[in-house]
Structure 1
Amino acid sequence: MAMKQLLTEVSANHFPNPPATPAQIAAFEVRVGWKLDENLRTFYLHCNGAALFEAPPDMNYRILPLERIERASVAIRGSEEDVDGSPSHFTLVDMQDTNFVILDVATPVTGCYPLLDAFHETYPDEAPRIAGSFEEFLEKALRSGNRSFWLSSEPPEK
């Protein structure tokens, strides 16, 4: 499904924040030291974060606003030491249970950053890839019935 269709669905059925401005995106990129890929840039120009399925504070999926994205080791371990998580791992989605979906900005594939599961009890030793791009992640999340699609073996709710 195209990113434009996914964003239309986010706006119609979920809880998007107002869009980020180009200046906010530029400031974010300077702060973190890497550039948003095209999927992420499109998303943040549409909405600067969003809650999926449930309104805050009750949501499971909270796509973070730019100002809340940080190095995963800081969010999960409270540390900037490389032993506590790769310097290329950044939070993207707060799963509201001290777990995150993170980006690996060091390993883009066809111009997109892969998304990883960062379970607080096993990160950084384990961070399995759950989507090859934000577009893939968002489509699967929107079809998940508000469950962590990468953990569920049950079919999504209708």
Structure 2
Amino acid sequence: MTTLLAEISRLHYPRPPASPAQIAAFETHVGWVLDEDLRAFYLHCNGATLFAPLPDVNYHLLPLERIVRARVAILGRDEDGAGPASHYCVVDMQDGDYVIVDVAQRAGASLPLFDAWHETYPATKRIASSFGEFLEKALSSGNESFWLDG
């Protein structure tokens, strides 16, 4: 993660870091704990955009205060019929597409990441086993959604 975070600082648009107190408050609020990669990211920067600043950006890595359940961000409803309560948006692709973590599928120490498109949600597609893997692929994507065909 150290190399990836340095690249974000050098070539992209990071926000100031979150404090340990902000992270603790976030974890208390959502009821789950950030994995090691996400914790390192938020201690380095509390959100970032890759390749371009807002508003003209594909990859908007959300600050802690903007992380919400996917069913709320995508469908505007926080009810079981709108998708699992364990899905949380961590990246807004600015086109109705989100990258989410599923906190119910923690794989060892890591949270897997999924593509969640508004047209097909709550169906999702696994795109990375960890935030570090996602970040590595995103940073080498040339500002394209690396998981999409064509």
TM over 0.5: yes
1:32-57 Cα offsets, whole Å, 9 max, x none, are: 00000000000000000000001111
Encode CA deviations 1:68-127: one digit per residue, 9 max, x unaligned. 000000000001111111000000000001210000001111210000000100000x20
Kindly report which structure 2 residues correspond to 1:55-70, keeping only aligned pairs within 5 A, or say none.
55-70=53-68
Q: Which residue of 2 aligns with 1:138?
A: 135
Q: 2:125 aligns with which of 116, 125, 128?
A: 128
What corresponds to 1:77 in structure 2? 75
In structure 2, what is the Cα distance between the partners aligned to 1:42 and 1:20? 10
C-alpha distance in 2, partners of 1:82/1:103? 17
Q: List, as ranges, runs of 4+ consecutive aligned residues in structure 1 with deviation greater than 6 Å.
A: none
Please give the alpha-carbon distance, in whole angstroms, between the structure 1 residues aligned to 2:135 and 2:149. 16
Looking at structure 1, the residues matched to 45 and 149 of structure 2 have their Cα atoms a distance apart, in angstroms, of 27
Q: What SS does structure 2 have at the residue aligned with 1:106?
A: helix
Task: Extract unaligned runs of 5+ from structure 1.
Answer: 154-158
- How high is the TM-score relative to the length of structure 2? 0.98
Structure 2: tracts of 5 or more residues without a match: none
- Of the structure 1 ranges 103-112 and 40-49, higher mean CA displacement relative to structure 2 is found in 103-112
2:42 paired residue among 31, 38, 44: 44
Once the two structures are aligned, what percentage of the paired residues are identical? 63
Q: Which amino acid aligns with 2:52?
A: E
- 2:116 corresponds to 1:118: yes
**1: CA distance, partners of 2:90 / 2:134:** 11
The match for 1:5 among 3, 6, 13 is 3
Aligned to 1:156: none
